[in-house]
Amino acid sequence: MTKFSEYKDVWVYTEQRGGKLMNVALELLGEGRRLSREISGDARVCAVLVGHETDHLADELTAYGADLIYQIDDPLLAHYTTDGYAKVITQAIEERKPEIVLFGATHIGRDLAPRIAARLDTGLTADCTRLDIDTGDYMEYLEKNTTASLAGLSAEDGDKGLKQTRPAFGGNLMATIVTPRTRPQMATVRPGVMEKLEKDLSLKSEVVRIQPQLSKADIQVEILDVVKEAKELVSLTDAKIICSGGRGLGDASGFELIEAFAKKVGGVVGASRAAVDSGWIDQSHQVGQTGTTVKPNIYFACGISGAIQHLAGMQTSDIIVAINKDPEAPMMQLADYAVCGDLKKVIPEIIEAWDQA
Ligand code: FAD
Summarised one tens digit per residue, pLDDT across range 62-91 is 999 999 999 999 999 999 999 999 999 999
Ligand 1 center to residue 288 CA distance, Å? Answer: 10
Residue 215 and residue 74: Cα distance in Å, rounded? 10
- pLDDT for residue 231 is more than 60: no
Mean pLDDT across the stretch 324-334? 97
Binding-site members for FAD are 247, 272-273, 286-290, 303-310, 324
Complex ipTM: 0.99
Residue with CA at minimum distance from ligand 1 atom 48: 274
Share of the chain above pLDDT 90, in %: 75
For residue range 245-295, what is the model confidence (pLDDT) as tens digits?
999 999 999 999 999 999 999 999 999 999 999 999 998 899 998 888 899
Q: Which of 310, 320, 347 to mutate to test the pocket of ligand 1 (most atoms within 8 A of CB)?
A: 310
For residue range 166-183, what is the model confidence (pLDDT) as tens digits?
988 766 788 999 988 899
- pTM of the shown model: 0.71
Which pLDDT belongs to residue 226? Answer: 85
Half-sphere exposure (Cβ direction) of 122: Cα atoms closer than 13 Å: 27
Residue with CA at minimum distance from ligand 1 atom 35: 170
Residues having CB closer than 6 A to ligand 1 are: 170, 246-248, 272-275, 286, 288-291, 303-305, 307, 309-310, 313, 323-326, 329, 342-344
Taking CA atoms, 84 is separated from 13, 73, 92, 146, 328, in Å, by 14, 12, 13, 39, 52
For residue range 112-168, what is the model confidence (pLDDT) as tens digits?
999 999 999 999 999 999 999 987 777 677 677 766 555 555 545 546 789 999 988
- pLDDT for residue 36 is more than 80: yes
Band of residue 230 on the pLDDT scale cut at 50, 70, 90 = low
Q: Which of 289, 294, 331 to mutate to test the pocket of ligand 1 (most atoms within 8 A of CB)?
A: 289
Phi-psi region of 340 (alpha: psi -120 to 50; beta: other; left: phi over 0): beta
